[in-house]
Chains A and B, each alone.
Chain A
């Protein structure tokens, strides 16, 4: 295990969300500018574990190319990755993705907490994590871990979110670096470079 220990040279942008976040994503996807320094990873809750429509939807709409995720897929900057339904998404020190079929967290697999915590360990201050709308408290603890490891924490303003509970749960435990209205999310992401 240890021999693979090289921190990835690129940065990571993780975006997590649940109910009400898909609309936000679909509106910003076509207008995204290339992010050559970032691997972009999307972790959204799904209704059922056989649902592959999200991958298709994103592949068609996204201005950033979407790479299919299998276990041990190597992340590459400039590409987008969608956490598959039915698995937790974990990050290896060498920049590979690992999948995990263990118990659901917050009734969810993938869980946003699990992905954020794992990415925080690997990417530290090279990670930007964005938490969007949702009717669930997943993601809040994950953002705490991101902050602890020096990453940048971004939360959609609950007042502008379809479902305020998820971003509000995060605000209850952490002060984000950026609290963004829905319409501010796209310009924020496009200015990351």
Chain B
């Protein structure tokens, strides 16, 4: 069992050796994730685990991949997508060009869900989706536009619950257990590695989605990231968080107006 002292040492060493700063992560989940990989990889002595981390960059990469939680779904929280479709996209439609940032996009399910909605709103041709994550492995996977075929039943159900009326299967081709999504979607996506802890704003966006990423950060780091988003949004742009995340603890909250009870905020200042 990994204890608090171990975690502190680990955070310091990882920062010294690799420059990754996990000190602002939420302790309860970070510890649980470290404990999980420590046990999975069969360690019983923390110093062995640490020394392997120091000496094998490859192993460090593997640990980062395992510590970050990459669970995601297409059209996760259909109710949210329905509001996006009905209330947010119509206002974005008036723009000549639409820039969207998916921060912490994981394996891309959310990005493809967005692309499908943009297409149905006839906005895909003038949109660009920037999809970023700290974990290069999930980005590689997202770029392939291939998702397990066995998930499609649930995803098409989510899609319908979000107000989708098309035949969901027209958007992909089934092949060897995978659903390969159409190139017209990937053509409008840019994938790149971006660390919300240390990297800066790289563009101005009309819509930023960062769902179920802030839950892994403590309040101070959340605050810094929310300031980064604030500085990366165009006037009247939208910020979207996960269904249980909030900006109400943050100093940027007075610059935003919430859309009803949804976790969608519009930048008004």
Q: Is the CB of A100 within 8 A of B246?
A: no
Residues in chain A near residue B214, CB distance under 8 A: 71
Which chain A residues lie closer than 8 Å to B30 at the CB level? Answer: 1
Does the CB pair B27–A84 fall under 8 Å?
Answer: no
Q: Are B71 and A102 in contact, with the CB atoms below 8 A?
A: yes
| A50 contact set on B, CB distance < 8 A | 77-79
State the CA gap A93–B219 with chains docked (Å).
13
Flag whether B218 is at the interface (Cβ < 8 A): yes
Q: Are A100 and B218 in contact (CB under 8 A)?
A: no
By beta carbon, the residue of chain B nearest A74 is B249
Contact assessment for A101 and B28 in the assembled complex, using a CB-CB cutoff below 8 Å:
no
Contact of A72 among B78, B222, B242 (CB under 8 A): B222
Query: In the complex, which residues of chain B have a beta carbon less than 8 angstroms from the beta carbon of A93?
Result: 27-28
Q: Indicate the member of B27, B29, B33, B77 with the most A CB atoms within 10 Å.
A: B27
The interface residues of chain A lying within 8 Å CB-to-CB of B25 are 1
Residues B1-45 near A (CB distance < 8 A): 4, 7-8, 11, 23-30, 32-33
A155 to chain B, nearest CB (A): 24
Alpha-carbon distance A113/B216, docked complex (angstroms)? 19
Q: Return B37 CB to nearest CB of chain A, in Å.
A: 12
Please name the residue on chain A nearest to B214 by beta carbon.
A71
Mark contacts of A83-103 with chain B using CB atoms, 8 A cut-off: 1 yes-contact digit, 0 otherwise: 010110011110010111111
Pick the residue among A1, A4, A71, A102 that contacts B245 (CB under 8 A): A71
Task: Decide if B26 touches A90 in the complex (CB within 8 Å).
Answer: yes
Q: Give the residue name and chain of the B residue nearest to A1 (CB).
A: B27
B-side contacts of A122, CB under 8 Å:
28
A72 touches B219 (CB 8 A): yes
Min CB gap A108→B, angstroms: 14
Contact A72 B249 (CB under 8 A): yes
Q: Is there an interface contact between B244 and A100, defined as CB atoms closer than 8 Å? A: no
When distances are taken between beta carbons in the complex, the residues of chain B under 8 Å from A168 are none
Query: Contacts A92-B26, A102-B71: A70 and B244 contacting too (C-beta < 8 A)?
Result: yes
Q: Are A90 and B244 in contact (CB under 8 A)?
A: no
**Min distance, Cβ B130 to any Cβ of chain A, angstroms:** 22
Q: Are B216 and A100 in contact (CB under 8 A)?
A: yes
Q: How far is the CA of A1 from the CA of B25 in the complex (A)?
A: 7
Determine whether B215 belongs to the interface, using a CB cutoff of 8 Å to chain A: yes
CA–CA, A50 to B242, complex, Å? Answer: 12
Known: A72-B222, A118-B32. A101 touches B245 (CB 8 A): no
CB < 8 Å neighbour of A90 from B29, B78, B249: B29
A100–B29 contact, CB under 8 A?
Answer: yes
1/0 contact string of A60-95 vs chain B (CB within 8 Å):
000000000111100000000000101100111100
Any B CB within 8 A of the CB of A2: yes
CB contacts under 8 Å to A, within B26-70, are 26-30, 32-33, 69
Contact of B27 with A92 in the complex, beta carbons under 8 Å: yes
Residues of A within 8 A of B (CB): 1-2, 4-5, 50, 69-72, 84, 86-87, 90-93, 96, 98-103, 114, 118, 121-122
Q: Could you list 10 examples of A-B contacts with CB < 8 Å?
A: A1-B11, A1-B24, A71-B214, A71-B246, A72-B246, A92-B28, A92-B218, A98-B29, A101-B212, A114-B32
| A-B contact sample (19 more), CB < 8 A, given A100-B215, A101-B69 | A1-B25, A1-B30, A2-B4, A5-B4, A70-B245, A70-B246, A72-B26, A72-B222, A84-B244, A86-B243, A90-B32, A92-B218, A93-B27, A98-B26, A99-B215, A102-B71, A114-B32, A118-B28, A121-B28
